Amino acid sequence: MVSTMERETATTESEIETSDSLSPSVLSGAISAAASALVERVRPSVVLVRSGGRGAGAGVIWRSDGGIITNAHVVAHTRGEVQVILQDGRELTGKVVNSNPTLDLALLEVDAKDLPAALVADSSTLRVGELVFAVGHPWGQRDYVTSGIVSGLGNIGVPHTGRTAQYIRSDVHLAPGNSGGPLLNARGEVVGINAMVFGGDMGVAIPSHVATAWVAGPPSRRVYLGVGVRPVELPGVESDFSWRGRAAGLLITDIEQDGPAHKAGVLVGDVLLAAGGQHVPDGDTLLHVLGSKSARERVSLHLMRGEGFQEIEVELGALEPEGESSA
């Protein structure tokens, strides 16, 4: 059976294909119809999150079995439980099962099945200039939608932590109540979790590929390299591991004496570009890569040293039971 929305979308596409010329009115109508359809698709996946008496934010149904993503700051002052209101009016008690203030992400779980999970895209392919939409509850008003374009991609400093997190900057209008809601691409897929307003007029969102890796669970810490790192961008450097058109990687700031990296010949000042063939522009990606490996497994590291590039093979070490803060 073909839904009304599918017929409207098909009609819109037919108009575009059969029109001898795309007049402004036809193009405007097609864009409006497509935008309306995608918003209607995602609305059931957007929830209202109430955290005590501190106002409300938004959340995205990430898994149909009750997993919901929101911002860490939305649930920062709870005692582990929040009120989650679904689009159909149901009110559920949500438990905060994981939170990462650096990424500004929190994972909630509610006792419900067959929830309408959002479609999530790989935000690592997102480009500056793409059309995006934000859905949230500004000032407590349910399911408001704003639109704009992607204005920038990169890393942003996290206050009071000395660390950075990846972000998407856009000119969608955000207000209190949008936090934790989805940033959508033109296909209605989630490409980010809206987090805050930056510089007074730019919206900042946590990329969906970062959220996806985080929700999958903290990377296994059974293995480690024995290094301390921080993200760096390398303007003007040509590399097979460029990111967003720029070479980027992890500056080695510290090396554990007699650790795996030290034994393999890695030096402080090297820039790690890839591990196991996967680009590592930030520490969370590196931990995700390590989490897929086993202790004593040999992994190739692509490094920039001075003005040259090197490939070094390292045997990963087994982590002691008490976790460390480095990779």
Active site residue 104: yes
Strand pairing category for 144-158 and 308-315: unpaired
Q: How would DSSP label each residue in 15-49? A: HHHH-SS--HHHHHHHHHHHHHHHHHHHGGGEEEE
Q: Which residue has the tokens 């990846």?
A: 166
Q: Which of 179, 208, 239, 279 is catalytic?
A: 179
Encoded tokens for 254: 């510290």
Q: Which of 45, 104, 208, 209 is catalytic?
A: 104
Active site residue 73: yes
Q: Which of 45, 51, 73, 282 is catalytic?
A: 73
Q: How far apart are the first and last CA of the chain?
A: 52
Separation of alpha carbons 64 and 85, rounded Å: 15
Residue environment code for 105-135, b if the CB has 16+ CB neighbours within 10 A, otherwise e:
bbbbbbebeebebbebbebbebeeeeebbbb
CB atoms within 10 A of CB 306: 9
Active site residue 179: yes
Catalytic residues: 73, 104, 179
